[in-house]
Structure 1
Amino acid sequence: MTEHYFTPRPQTPHEEAEFTAVLRGMEFRFRTDRAVFSRERVDPGTRLLVEAMRIGPADTVLDLGCGYGVLGIVAARLAPQGRVYMVDMNERAARLAEANAERNGVRNAEVRVGDGTGPLAGIRFDVILMNPPVRAGKAAVHRLVAEAGAALKPGGSLWVVIGNKQGAPSLKRHLGAVFRELEDVDRKGGYHVYRAQGWLGVPRDERIDANPGPK
């Protein structure tokens, strides 16, 4: 059976590779391996999110499903007085993210292994970044969105990139139902970057009006 990038402990034989990429005007070096997402280059969706995301210099940031660390490492450079957390359930990807942070001179980031925000209980974030694991299915993506929403600070934002062919219209509708504010920040090459703020907890159409008024 072919392993996916969300396999917790890949058994696929290692075949490491390395490449450089210029992101936000800065050069980075990334080491990758088999059984991780987009091992040969920064994929177009991640690149679009990197260029669109807005990170404050002292923000606390989460790269949710970090892979080998592109989003989190760039965010750490953009938040020199902040703190970046990267988490992935794929142990191989998490090890690569940790090594890539060191390789790129990032000292204000840490990597944890686990599913969703579970390894980060009690931490709240100004910004959460996600290139969701669409192959894991809609239910898994919606669960991660819910965990991210609950982990945001007041005024914090969730940034998500997804392709049209991977379900962008459906995810946009879902984000619009579970957040007060939703912005389609950027789009290119069939990908969209969405920024959501104001986690509602449950979809709008499931919320009960406490004061419905006269019928």
Structure 2
Amino acid sequence: MNKSQISNTTAQKAEFLIRENIRGFDLSLKTTWGLFSYQKIDPGTKLLAENIIVKPGKKCLDLGCGYGVLGVVMAKLSAGQVWFIDRDVVALEYAKINCAHNNIEDFKVIASNGFESAGDEKFDLIVSNLPTHTANDMIEWLISESEKHLNPGGELWVVTVNALKQFMESGLKKTFGNYELVIKNSTHAVAKSRKTG
């Protein structure tokens, strides 16, 4: 059974250290006050991290990365270059710290609202813990933009709370024309869609 251990590492900076074993990797993740799920890895993020399939050498994106849990896991699973995108510059700073802390070398960190600063970059795998406290049209936009930024055959993997499962399913089917429920537990659902064209 995996256990999170949290300790206050620097009182002045109000930093926290989360230690978690995911997929056989002992991760050490620094966080700070104000970041999403700063005291322990969010259950949805953890469910996605425990189930994503990463093909060796593929270019991956952690969209809305926070302090970088999903991107770090993808890198550990033999991904090629991993990109981290978030609009929160503090979260991005901790994503950088966590890459260094977990010996991740081939990564790029971009401050961006969705894909606005990503240019024409294409990815083989995009993962995201879709925001639950945002407008539905924002989620639809993120799904649509993800499809545009995938290489043919690339996949979008998302996790959301069960209350949004039907909305997520319809959004993925509308954009990609396909949808697969990967896993569902009592609180969250992980799904994926593949870009076919």
2:140 counterpart letter in structure 1 = H
Q: How far has the Cα of 1:199 moved from its partner? A: 6.7
Where does residue 95 of structure 1 map in the other structure? Answer: 93
The CA deviation at 1:15 is 2.4
- Quick one: distance in 1 between partners of 2:195 and 2:32? 37
Structure 2: where are the runs of 5+ without partners?
1-11
Q: Alpha-carbon deviation of 1:70?
A: 0.2
Give the Cα–Cα distance (whole angstroms) in 2 for the partners of residues 140 and 35 of structure 1: 22
Match of 1:32 in 2: 31
Q: Is the 8 A contact 2:156 2:192 kept in 1?
A: yes
Secondary structure of the corresponding residue to residue 119 of structure 1: coil
Cα shift at 1:33: 1.1
The reply to whether residue 197 of structure 1 matches residue 194 of structure 2 is yes
Report the 3-state secondary structure (helix = DSSP H, G, I; strand = E; otherwise coil) of the residue aligned with 1:136: coil
Does 1:169 find its partner at 2:161? Answer: no
Larger Rg: 1
Cα offsets for 1:3-28 (capped at 9, x unmatched): xxxxxxxxxx9522111010111100
TM-score, length of structure 2 as denominator length: 0.90
* Residue 209 (structure 1) aligns with: none
Look up the SS of the partner of 1:155 in the other structure: strand
Alpha-carbon contact 1:149-1:199 (below 8 Å) kept: no
Q: Does the CA-based 8 Å contact 2:131-2:160 persist in structure 1?
A: no
User: Is the partner of 2:195 in helix, strand or coil?
Assistant: strand
Q: Give the paired residue count.
A: 186
Cα distance, 1:108 vs. partner?
1.4
Give matches, 1:63-82, under 5 Å.
Answer: 63-80=62-79, 82=80
8 Å CA contact retained: 2:151, 2:195: no
Instruction: Tell me the secondary structure at the aligned position of residue 184 of structure 2.
Output: strand
TM-score normalized with structure 1 length: 0.82
Contact 1:130 1:161 in 2 (8 A): yes
Q: Which residue number in structure 1 is paired with residue 175 of structure 2?
A: 178
- Counterpart-to-counterpart distance in 2, 1:136 and 1:16: 27
Residue identity in the other structure for 2:169: K
Alpha-carbon distance in structure 1 between the residues aligned to 2:13 and 2:175: 40
What's the counterpart of residue 123 of structure 1?
121
In structure 1, the residue matched to 2:140 is 142
Task: Give the secondary-structure state (helix, strand or coil) at the position aligned to 1:195.
Answer: strand
Instruction: Find the counterpart in structure 1 of residue 83 from structure 2.
Output: 85
Which stretches of structure 1, 4 residues or longer, exceed 3 Å deviation after superposition? none
In the alignment, structure 1 segments of 5+ residues that lack a partner are 1-12, 201-215
2:63, 2:127 within 8 Å by CA — same for their partners in 1?
yes
1:118 offset after TM fit, Å?
2.1
Question: How far does residue 101 in structure 1 lie from its aligned partner after superposition?
Answer: 0.4
Amino acid at match of 1:198: K
- Contact conserved, 1:176 with 1:182, CA < 8 A, in 2? yes
Contact 1:128 1:159 in 2 (8 A): yes
CA distance in 1, matches of 2:107, 2:136: 29
Residue 75 of structure 1 aligns to a residue in which SS?
A: helix
